[in-house]
Structure 1
């Protein structure tokens, strides 16, 4: 009798989570911005089912949610959205259920989400546009050029300063297939990281309400890039620069991605170091810290400070977070 009650509870909980997923999708279905925000929440119901029960029920939750979503979207759109949040939900559920650390969980969910986004792109390129991957990318490049040309014509009609028009033209020159591949790859990785971080925060708060013990997420001020990983990225980027100089351009896409990752990771570490200084050393309020970080980020004249902070922190291990420092600071 007790087993029957347990099975009934599982069915009820699964039904509730499927309904919640459908409601979230319905609320975000026709507003692109809300849809992007909804992707942070969509993995949560299936993640809860995984943690409270098992993989099988979580997988069923995702599949039935996709089927219900076809009433709002076409089947392809329902499938691709389900793939993205499904990968995130299953990896998040597995790592939390098996008591993995928050950093391991976020890395795993980042990878799973990035894979989901890549599958989504491939489905649209192959099955929706039916143009193939390369042709689909070329279509995107052409659309970007058309958009930039439209902006340029608007500036001309408004008698905008010549500098503004020249800037649009200079950006247009850099818009090509290689640049698009680099941007898409980084958007998959960085988008996956942001989704993993926010989804973990949300599921942590939900689970605490349900009296589950969940490891606290690492504060942003304690985020750091291990010097060995950064050194490896820099070495690969340098190899790419040398090969490009020797006109070995076969793998230029990969090296461009790594080069951009170097800049991103240095800036990320530098931003975390600044938050550490303002929060733990300066004891400033959260609001002032956020405003300061954003101001530096969006003011070109001083945004390079993050690079300087990042390089300095990685080399000298100023926060003493790296267990294998290049140089120990007393």
Structure 2
């Protein structure tokens, strides 16, 4: 009797969530103004359903809703929405239900989002009748930059002021875009994961769900093993490039870019940690110092600080470091 009650309850809730997903997906497809809000809102009901029940129930709701949308709208677009918007919900639901750490949750969400974005791009390219993802993305970016540049020219900007857009247009060329494609996908996945995680956490707290607390940014650190993996990743890219394998340059550029970002974040957290704990500075002062330094040539200082912190673990946050045995 209890199993039947549980089954009925799960079916009813799955049906309600499926209806909600259909509404959001259709709004995302036909109302461009709410597409961003739809991207943020759709994972939430899927996440809640996973937490309350299990993977099978949440997946069933997603599949049913996608079938309904495919019958009403374009099947490929429904598949795109299904992959991009529901993958994060199921992944996040799994992480929250099983009490995964914030760092592991973000890593899993980033990977899921990056894969979903890649599949979404493939679908968009097929819908557009193109043969290459790189060429399609390059054309889209260059067209956007061209329109923006003309607007700024009409507004009276000088060539020097347009230099940033010209550099962006250069980076948007197929060869350069291919080198940075993995980095772009990783950063897009991380941004999407971070926003979805933050929004979903806020909603779940309002709904009185128990979620793992997020530590202050000043306790952010890069695990020494993660740094070693990134270094190996870069080395693999260098070796592939030397053997004239085209993907090697993309791996090297992406690995180097991700490592620099990790070093920068670690260095900023390290600096804020000591400024707050050693000098007892207020949040306002710390924010002003951060704004005036990170957006200036001084940002390189944070990268070196991050490297030093990874090597020496000044804050003693890395649990994988061997500590001297206290007598």
Range into which the TM-score falls when normalised by the shorter chain = 0.7 to 0.9
Structure 2 spans left out of the alignment, 5+ residues: none
**Residue 180 (1) aligns with residue 206 (2):** no
- Aligned mates of 1:197, 1:280 — CA distance in 2: 27
2:304 is aligned, of 308, 312, 328, to 308
2:12 corresponds to which residue?
12
CA contact (8 A) 2:183 2:255 kept: no
SS for the counterpart of 2:319 is coil
Distance 1:313 1:249, change over 3 A: same
- Aligned mates of 1:214, 1:327 — CA distance in 2: 31
Deviation of residue 59 (structure 1)? Answer: 0.6
1:118 corresponds to which residue?
118
SS for the counterpart of 2:297 is helix
5 Å-filtered alignment, 1:1-330, equals: 1-25=1-25, 28-29=28-29, 34-70=34-70, 74-125=74-125, 127-132=126-131, 134=132, 136-208=133-205, 212-234=209-231, 236-237=233-234, 240=237, 248=244, 250=246, 251-277=248-274, 280-281=277-278, 289=286, 292-297=289-294, 299-325=295-321
Structure 1 spans left out of the alignment, 5+ residues: none
Which deviates more from structure 2 when the two are superposed, residues 177-186 or residues 75-84?
177-186
Which deviates more from structure 2 when the two are superposed, residues 144-153 or residues 268-277?
144-153
Cα displacement string for residues 117-151 of structure 1 (whole angstroms, at most 9, x for unaligned residues): 111112222x312322x3x4213323433444445
- Aligned mates of 1:33, 1:283 — CA distance in 2: 44
Cα displacement string for residues 53-104 of structure 1 (whole angstroms, at most 9, x for unaligned residues): 1211101111233244458853322221211222222222223333333332
SS for the counterpart of 1:140 is helix
Cα displacement string for residues 271-317 of structure 1 (whole angstroms, at most 9, x for unaligned residues): 333443455555555566556545544x3433334323322322231
Distance 1:290 1:4, change over 3 A: farther
TM-score (normalised: structure 2): 0.80
CA contact (8 A) 2:92 2:105 kept: yes
RMSD: 3.5
- Aligned mates of 2:91, 2:143 — CA distance in 1: 39
- Aligned mates of 2:283, 2:23 — CA distance in 1: 33
